[in-house]
Amino acid sequence: MADWVSVHPFEYDSPLIRLRPDRRVAETDDVADQLGTFLETELADAERIVLVTHSQGGLVVQRFLARKLWNGEGHELARIKHFTMFSCPNTGSGFFLTVRKFLKLWRNPQEQQLRPFDRAVTEAQRTVLSAVVHARGHSDKECPIPVRAYGGSADDIVPPIVARGVFPKGGVVTADHFSIIQPADRTAASYRAVRGALIEVARAASVRESALPLASTAARPSTTKGTGDTAADARIATDAEAADGPSYPPPAAEDPDLAPLPPPPYWQLDEGQLKGEDRHGLVAHLLSEQARRRVHVVAGPGGSGKSRIALEAADRARRAGHRVWWVSAPELSLRMRMIARDLGAPSITVERAWLVGTAMDLVWTLLDACPEPWLLIFDNVDDPERLGSRDGPAASGTGWLRTPQNAKGTVIVTSRVRSRHAWGDASRVHQVLPLDDNDGASMLLERTGGLGGTNEDARRLSRQLGGLPLALRQAADVIKAVHQSQISLDSDIRDFETFRRTVAPRVDTAADQDGPHLSELLGREIVEKVCGIGMDLLTQHELPQAPTLLKVFACLSIAPIPYRCLLTDSALAQSPLFPGATPARTSALLAGLEELGLVDAYEREGVADRRLAGVLTLHPVVHGVLREDEEVRKRPADYYGLAVRMLRSAIQHSNPDHPANWPLWAALSPHALEVSRACLLGDLRLSDRSVRTEALELARLTARYLIATGLLGPAYDLVLPLVERCSSFGFDSDDREILGLRHEQGRVHLDREQLPLAEQVLGRVVRVRTRILGENHADTLASRHKLARAINEQAGREAEAEVMLRSIVEAENEVRGPEHYDTLVVRHTLARTMLARGAHREAEAEAREILSISRRNHWPPATPEILRVQETLTHSLLRQDRARDAEQVIREALQHASQPADSNVVMRLRFTFVLVLLGIRGRTPEAVKELRALVRDLDRVVTSEHPLSVQARALLETAVREMPT
């Protein structure tokens, strides 16, 4: 990275004592200001800065950030793009504390802030958490900066739990207090953490701008003896001007679990204050000590403001320094997997849990062990069984929804379901009532900016709309748009009273209701009519296609919609719903929908890809109302057909197996799942077979993405009903479209190590595909390869698998070509089979040829398949007693691996490295040392029953027993 990163040490003095009376030891605030001066003078021209600190240096940077924000200078922090701390005493260092307190010579003011729970440290951390880590935008008082805190597993000066502190992102690496910033090589986790931060900043810059090269500067402050703690390291990476563009490393396969968990939709807080004394009281209760160790269900009709209450609780919790996770129902499995990683679960642990079906237990083990206060929110769960397990309903407490055993944990669920029976006896249901007339009037007046009339007019309209926040908001937006819109809205509606008179004939029961309770049916009717007024305004004037577009959005999921990916000219222009569609026209339709409050559009922070950053949402009630719209029900092929084609167009050139495409797939998969199920398993009665055929292909590709990212449960839940019920939507189980889904079903069994089941499913697919498509058709070859794998991995059947694989390789050479990636994957399976059968030289030759082709085609050396080929080559050399040649190969693989140190692929490479060392005379002590480190890491990240852990322990016992004394 030397050509795009430059390193600048920031040094400051931290002596044990001052013997000269004319000199003082700088306090932490002084050092923080000194850092500010350094950035302003030495790095005045830097456009992007990455801060990396060691030990107390993290406290210096936190104090620097906090003081800037306290002084209203948040905009000056905008060029700081990342902040990583190693071994920072975030809750104080207890090491040598008694001596430090009472040794008379110790008068270092910097030491005072190493003491646990120092007030100045706590103040700074509160500010950094609320106004940096959880900042919603750039202002004088806020500046969003990614912050990571890492601890060393062998650090007794600043233990990992202290180093992590209150910061939600980071982790634990294998190191002590000093070696954590002295990585032995490029495979060290601390090195990869810094490297990852630099690449993240560089790539983000390359998308936002034409991209100046990211220069990196590292700075090492002076280290002095005395505290038992090194004085702070502060490393600063900045932009450096260069004539040439940045030479970024080639994109390699990323860990699917490294994507950050999206934050709660805090942007919605800008839409106005929470109304209702009872709602404020509920929020206060949800965050109280009494509410902890409980599941709280916030229940009420659609549009009553349940999610807004949960969001208010989330915002207050994060400002208090709590960890907050927001899980939307359509993305349940993916979000829970992200939470597992966010809680520090290593990649290998997460991968195994999602593979063998213990994911729910893993997440709750982590939550119950979390040392910080936390809040977990499940939003819009209108089907409680989605939170249950395969063995029991949500109320059983065995699924995703459980009562926290951690005294610092709280769970909130928002739902229309009010029945306590659905949630279990341990859950507490809080019913959300409509706003009273005064609170409803206040909401109307504030949202219209006083344009709608008197307070009494607002009270009457609020009563007419049942005090339903969603309806009040949309009514206010219509009134405001009539007065201020850029589009022509010539309407009889001018104020609260005229809106009330317009809506009264459409729904006249709300004003006469008895008491504060509002039925679900009445609430839905109110929203439908108010929404209809807005759509009528758009239809009658310049934007008649705006309501049509809104109905198309309703065919998708309630998850955020990345509209820039979907609203392409070709997809819209080919639909009979949008004749003559142009980009300008489409933008005008979106603007009209947003202006009348029918959609909410916003930019997601931290998303570098502009196509994915811009999203819009529909309220779930509006979504449900429009799905039942008469026109949508009459023309399902047009509406759902367009939804299918938009999704197919967006993913057309994005292979779901390639990690570089996973961010796009993560954004679109909830919509692909919803649309394909609606088209095939719903009650739409689609007469257009082409739409059903396209929906099947969309489902197959989505299943491939889910399998590739390890989400086997959702993949199976998608595929199995489509296979079993295919006749209900006009397909036979042996039709090629269904065979594609059955192929993915077999892959799920294969990845779950259910080998006989995989062989059974894939065997039938191969037979039928061979009959229909031919033996050497690309689809048939793919199924033949998976079948051969299922056979090969069953003991004693390697010879049978080898015959199959040789035939497949020969065919792949003709069909796809000898250098196609799929061909090489099959060749690697053949090499492994040769190895298992004792054909070591042949396996070596096959592996070397694969690696030669990969280098010739410039494939990233960190690609998992390439690393596994190097592992196979290493074993083939070992079996030929060529351990020194094997050492060269496995060291190269470890050097190239960019995956986390605790990932399955890296752990396996480390195990193979140990086997190589044991095969070299005189290297047994080194091998035992490496193996002990591997076993320690495995003990930290997986259970003792994990296959690799069992192998490593057995090998360690044997190696120690046979090691010469």
Cα 742–chain centre separation = 29
* Amino acid making up residue 704: R
| Check whether domain 867-962 has CATH 1.10.760.10, yes or no | no
Q: pLDDT, tens digit, for every residue of 386-402? A: 999 888 899 999 999 99
Split at pLDDT 50, 70, 90, the class of 225 is very low
pLDDT of residue 366 exceeding 70: yes
Torsion of CA 501, 507, 509, 515, to 10 degrees: -90
DSSP 875-912: HHHHHTT-HHHHHHHHHHHHHH--S-TTSHHHHHHHHH
The size of the chain, in residues, is: 965
- According to DSSP, the residues that pair with 295 across neighbouring strands are 411, 427
pLDDT of residue 674 exceeding 80: yes
Split at pLDDT 50, 70, 90, the class of 255 is low
DSSP 385-454: GGGSBTTB-GGGT-SS-----STTEEEEEEES---HHHH-TTEEEEEPPPPPHHHHHHHHHHHHTT-S--
pLDDT of residue 946 exceeding 80: yes
pLDDT at residue 141, as a whole number: 85
pLDDT at residue 724, as a whole number: 96
CA distances from 185 to 182, 573, 897 (A): 9, 55, 12
Q: How far apart are CA 736 and CA 308, in angstroms?
A: 47
- Which of 107, 79, 93, 91 minimizes the C-alpha distance to 212? 79
Q: pLDDT, tens digit, for every residue of 181-195? A: 888 877 678 888 888
pLDDT of residue 412 exceeding 60: yes
pLDDT of residue 212 exceeding 70: no
Helices (H), 774-839: 778-792, 798-815, 821-836
Q: pLDDT, tens digit, for every residue of 860-869? A: 888 888 999 9
CATH topology of domain 28-205: Rossmann fold (3.40.50)
Read off the DSSP letter of residue 146. -
How does the average pLDDT of the chain come out, rounded? 84
Q: Do domains 28-205 and 867-962 have the same CATH topology?
A: no
What angle (nearest 5°) sits at the alpha carbon of residue 429, between those of residues 424 and 431? 150
Q: How far apart are CA 352 and CA 350, in angstroms?
A: 5
* Amino acid making up residue 799: A
Q: pLDDT, tens digit, for every residue of 808-829? A: 999 999 998 999 888 999 999 9
Residue whose token pair is 């490295």: 913
Q: Is 169 helix (H, G, I), strand (E, B) or coil?
A: coil
Two structure tokens written together for 693? 């055929």
Two structure tokens written together for 520? 């679900």
pLDDT at residue 12, as a whole number: 73
DSSP strand pairing (80-86 vs 49-54):
parallel
| Burial of residue 428, with CB atoms counted within 10 A of its CB: 0-12 exposed, 13-18 middle, 19 or more buried | middle
pLDDT at residue 809, as a whole number: 96
Q: pLDDT, tens digit, for every residue of 95-139? A: 433 333 334 434 444 444 444 335 567 778 878 887 888 777 788
The kind and range of the H/E element at 237 are strand 233-238
Higher pLDDT, 447 or 570: 447
pLDDT of residue 962 exceeding 90: no
Split at pLDDT 50, 70, 90, the class of 518 is low
Split at pLDDT 50, 70, 90, the class of 517 is low
Split at pLDDT 50, 70, 90, the class of 520 is low
pLDDT at residue 431, as a whole number: 92
Q: How far apart are CA 33 and CA 314, in angstroms?
A: 33
Phi-psi region of 12 (alpha: psi -120 to 50; beta: other; left: phi over 0): beta
CB 424, CB 389: distance < 8 Å: no
Split at pLDDT 50, 70, 90, the class of 44 is confident
Report CA torsion sign: 911, 915, 920, 921. Answer: positive
Share of the chain above pLDDT 90, in %: 46
What lies within 8 Å, CB to CB, of 119 at 6+ separation is none
pLDDT of residue 211 exceeding 60: no
pLDDT of residue 221 exceeding 70: no
Count other C-beta atoms under 10 Å from residue 683's C-beta.
7
- Which range, 477-486, 609-618, 656-665, 845-854, has the best average confidence (pLDDT)? 845-854
Split at pLDDT 50, 70, 90, the class of 236 is very low
CA atoms within 13 A on the CB side of 171: 21
The architecture of the domain spanning 266-431 is: 3-Layer(aba) Sandwich (3.40)
* Amino acid making up residue 285: H
pLDDT at residue 689, as a whole number: 94
Q: pLDDT, tens digit, for every residue of 736-750? A: 999 999 999 999 999
Q: pLDDT, tens digit, for every residue of 132-168? A: 887 777 888 889 999 999 888 888 888 877 787 778 7
pLDDT at residue 3, as a whole number: 59
CA distances from 603 to 308, 613, 623 (A): 19, 5, 21
pLDDT at residue 753, as a whole number: 86
Split at pLDDT 50, 70, 90, the class of 26 is low
Split at pLDDT 50, 70, 90, the class of 14 is low
The sheet with strand 409-415 has its strands ordered as: 323-328, 374-379, 409-415, 295-299, 427-431
Split at pLDDT 50, 70, 90, the class of 13 is low
pLDDT of residue 217 exceeding 90: no
CB 722, CB 671: distance < 8 Å: no
Domains of the chain by residue range: 28-205, 266-431, 439-504+518-533, 546-709, 867-962
pLDDT at residue 965, as a whole number: 64
Residue whose token pair is 């204050």: 273
Higher pLDDT, 366 or 302: 366
Read off the DSSP letter of residue 132. I
For 786-820, letters b (16+ CB in 10 Å) and e give bbbbbbbbeeebbeebbebbbebbebbeebbeeeb
| Burial of residue 244, with CB atoms counted within 10 A of its CB: 0-12 exposed, 13-18 middle, 19 or more buried | exposed
- Which of 168, 239, 138 minimizes the C-alpha distance to 606? 138
CB 487, CB 543: distance < 8 Å: yes
**pTM for the predicted model, two decimal places:** 0.70
pLDDT at residue 904, as a whole number: 81
Split at pLDDT 50, 70, 90, the class of 516 is very low
What lies within 8 Å, CB to CB, of 921 at 6+ separation is none
CB 778, CB 785: distance < 8 Å: no
Q: How far apart are CA 288 and CA 784, in angstroms?
A: 59
pLDDT at residue 258, as a whole number: 52
CA atoms within 13 A on the CB side of 711: 28
pLDDT of residue 91 exceeding 70: no
Q: pLDDT, tens digit, for every residue of 594-604? A: 888 888 888 88
Higher pLDDT, 585 or 187: 585
* Amino acid making up residue 697: E
| Burial of residue 36, with CB atoms counted within 10 A of its CB: 0-12 exposed, 13-18 middle, 19 or more buried | middle
Share of the chain above pLDDT 70, in %: 86
Count other C-beta atoms under 10 Å from residue 628's C-beta.
11
Q: Would you report the helix, strand and coil content of the chain in percent, each value rounded to 5?
A: 55, 10, 35
Mean pLDDT confidence for 916-926: 92
pLDDT of residue 549 exceeding 70: yes
For 98-113, letters b (16+ CB in 10 Å) and e give eebeeeeeeebebbbb
Split at pLDDT 50, 70, 90, the class of 240 is very low
What angle (nearest 5°) sits at the alpha carbon of residue 35, between those of residues 29 and 40? 130
CB 578, CB 566: distance < 8 Å: no
- Which of 540, 537, 513, 516 minimizes the C-alpha distance to 525? 513
Read off the DSSP letter of residue 728. G
Higher pLDDT, 100 or 636: 636
pLDDT of residue 348 exceeding 90: no
Torsion of CA 128, 134, 139, 145, to 10 degrees: 70
CB 664, CB 565: distance < 8 Å: yes
pLDDT of residue 343 exceeding 50: yes
